[in-house]
Amino acid sequence: MGSLPLPESAINGADADDVFRPLDPDDVRSYLHKAVDLVADYLESVESLPVLPSVEPGYLRHLLNPSPPTSSAPFDVAMKELRDSVLPGMTHWASPSFFAFFPATNSAVAIAGDLIASAMNTVGFTWQSAPAATELESLTLDWLAHLLRLPPPFMSSSSPGGGVILGTTSEAMLVTLVAARDAALHRTGGMSRLAVYASDQTHSAFFKVCRLAGIDAANVRAIPTSAGTSYALDAMALRCRMEEDAGAGLVPTYVCATVGTTSTNAVDPVGAIADVAAIFNAWVHVDAAYAGAACICPEFRHHLAGVERADSISMSPHKWLLTCLDCTCLWVRDTRRLTDSLETKPEYLRNDVTDSGDVTDIKDMQVGVGHRFRGLKLWMVMRTYGAAKLQQHIRSDVAMAKMFEESVRADERFEVVVPRNFALVCFRIRACGDDMTEEDADEASRELMGRLNRTGKVFVAHTVVGGRFVLRFAVGSTLQEERHVRGAWELIRKTTGEILHGRQA
């Protein structure tokens, strides 16, 4: 076999300065210093930027080169295009005037941890491929489990329990559903008979992962909720449906309970749901993606009552615990139930440590094989700030949300649609007889949201509750202070006055 000839310059070194060195230490220092300056400047100025950009779909293709560059360019060129073209098209989740969806929190420590993890670029599929990364993730999950007062079986120090840090809640639902599915199949042998359950307030990710896991759509149950249960999953309604399905020859397999639903922050009764599921030997997963963070505060821990009878629980520190995307923590009572479904054993990944059985490789607890070093940023957040600071952060956001709720209740033009849980307020313009029917109130509330968002001064989102259009005001963006919440309320009051005055004219 021959070999490719080397260029003459590579042999004699005449063009050594032109050798491509993508990790040249001087470049690393120079580029990262400039990037850090941009990040610091951005966070310092984001308050003055419109929360929602005024751009149209496809705008960026008119500003950047339509074809990939063939030759190199100075780093400053990319930075200039980033500032001039990309940043103006961003929705600024970091803005203190961002009140939509749920927050995506961040911190100086998390950014630093993510940067370091990116530089190390660890691909932690097995313990051998990343010993410290694997063990730090395990330790950090135990730390957080301790703050949440999860029972010992969920901790890696109590084999066979433990956890893994995934990218999203969807992944946590998917891997636990697959494990529950496979366990049920061993008992029944028929995919078409498996039935799964959640409330009609459960995140849409649940219904998506059911499709991915091959669950027959006809057997995916969304149990109706109502204001009478504050839109939480009713355990008796769940039991009735599971009994009905079992009587029809189906196999109740998996129940997703939510602590802090996206629409209204409803809290499902975890303990009661687990008791019902136990009758049918169904897996119980607790989705505490957003509100789970609040449960590090003792005054909110009761929302997880009964979790000791669940099979798995997940929460996302990137939502409310100052750890940047992506970071979803999943704990399972028995990791073997995941690995039985997700384990792979190719020869090229065989090693003595794995074969010894002393470790659980992360690749066998997730959808993919490769695994980012997410544990570093979460560990750095917890190690640097400590439980007291993190609890202070949660309590401050809840206090600001309570202040906003009190302002809404004090204005007769509005109604709070469901009692506030945590830091989300659901409200709308109030219907008042013939002058403002429920349909009129829906239309006016929709107009209010549109006007608010077009100002660029705030960003709020909506949901539908009980058939009515409702605005969601989620406090918790990391840079938010009381003045931002008060400013948003004043803008809401003023804009509502203009809408109602226009309707009366």
The catalytic residue positions are 348
Q: Are 269 and 235 in contact (CB under 8 A)?
A: yes
∠ CA(17), CA(18), CA(21), 5° rounding? 90
> Angle between the 335-342 and 169-188 helix axes, to the nearest 10 degrees?
80
Q: Are 444 and 436 in contact (CB under 8 A)?
A: yes
Q: Whose structure tokens read 């809840």?
A: 398
Closest alpha carbon to 343 in 331, 351, 335: 335
* Burial (CB count within 10 angstroms: exposed 0-12, middle 13-18, buried 19+), residue 121: exposed
CA distances from 343 to 337, 352, 460 (A): 10, 17, 42
Q: Per-residue DSSP letters for 128-164? A: TT-HHHHHHHHHHHHHHHHHTT--GGGSTTSTT-EEE
Closest alpha carbon to 202 in 147, 250, 262: 262
Q: Per-residue DSSP letters for 271-302? A: HHHHHHHHHTT-EEEEE-TTGGGGGGSGGGGG
CA distances from 393 to 213, 388, 401, 461 (A): 37, 9, 13, 23
Name, in order, each residue with C-beta under 8 angstroms of 440's C-beta and a sequence gap of 6 or more: 431, 503
Query: Which value, to the nearest 10 degrees, does the dihedral of the CA atoms of residues 171, 173, 179, 180 take?
Result: -170
Q: Whose structure tokens read 């697959």?
A: 178
Tokens for 207, please give them. 């219904």
CA distances from 484 to 101, 242, 255 (A): 17, 46, 39
* CA atoms of 320 and 198, how far apart (whole Å): 24
* CA atoms of 408 and 426, how far apart (whole Å): 10
* CA atoms of 430 and 413, how far apart (whole Å): 6
* CA atoms of 500 and 495, how far apart (whole Å): 9
* CA atoms of 52 and 486, how far apart (whole Å): 20
What's phi and psi for 320, nearest 5 deg? Answer: -145, 10
Q: Are 105 and 323 in contact (CB under 8 A)?
A: yes
Q: Are 408 and 424 in contact (CB under 8 A)?
A: no
